[in-house]
Amino acid sequence: MATVHKATIDLFDQIYPLLEYFNIRGMNRDKWFQLLSTRRSSRHDHFGYVLMDEEKAVGFLGAMFYERIIGGREEPLCNLFCWYVLEEYRSSKESLLLLLAVLKHRNTTITSLTSSAKALMIYERFQFTPLETKIRIFFLLPVVPLPSTVDFISDPRVIESRLNPQEKKLFQVHRFPACHHLLLVSQSNGEDYCYLVYNCLRKKGLHFTQICYISDRELFERAFARLQWFFFRHNRTLLTVIDKRLAGTSGPGPGLDYTLRYPRLFRSVGLQPEQIDNLYTELLFLEAV
């Protein structure tokens, strides 16, 4: 009978063959090790759960544990990724043990942003609800923006020196090749800034910039027209994509809504969707061009 264990880095050699199943572009053994060995939580020292049949790993559910200050208090969160069980173990209840191990963390907000159709049905049975159903797509407008009132800083050393302690921690744990960082600084008040975390993707022949974290929406909206031109010059992207809950009700400019094939999901006892961004998730770590 297979049993569930915490996925710790000493089990990496057994777990890695299961990760190869996903064939994620840009990820190799060394990058997986770097990603999974980086500790992001002060409470947990593992990166998910592994189903073991004696010495063989037959299933894995990635769980990225972390804590954030939300609404003035520290909230525990966990993002699920890369759920895979060998076919001969899927028909038994043993495969569900991986999810049940995560759900034992009752006060933790749990997200799953890239569920498959089968995983979606299972999550819904365990009271996961939609976190996001749409993304907002913004096209580079062929007009010259008004004179800028915001400076753009992309030098990582300067960005880190300007961030507050909470955001400096976000910066430090997102120093991976797929993650890009940008600071928008008000020219009228150098203390006012908007910190962005984003990456660049290519899907179905389209190359676009995906923004996963926005620290100051008002400043972001004010600078958005010039920001798109910055992305065009530096990333060669004509499209900017943001989850609709992060873009705001009207968004920073004219764009189109695109309904996700499968909704992003979450389960929480206290947080609302608009309080949860896309940091600490596979959207940033695992989908580099």
pLDDT value, residue 147: 66
Type and span of the H or E element at 73: strand 73-85
Cα–Cα distance for residue pair 251/221, rounded to 1 Å = 8
List all residues 6 or more positions away from 47 whose beta carbon is below 8 Å from its beta carbon: 7, 8, 9, 36, 62, 63, 64, 65
Residue 161: Cβ within 10 Å count: 10
Q: What are phi and psi of 12, to 5 degrees?
A: -60, -45
Residues of the chain with pLDDT under 50: 288-289
DSSP state of 36: H
Q: What's the token pair of residue 93?
A: 């209840």
Domains and CATH numbers, the chain: 3-107 (3.40.630.30), 135-263+272-285 (3.40.630)
pTM: 0.92
Q: Which helix or strand (DSSP H or E) is residue 63 part of?
A: strand 56-70
CA distance 49 to 36: 12
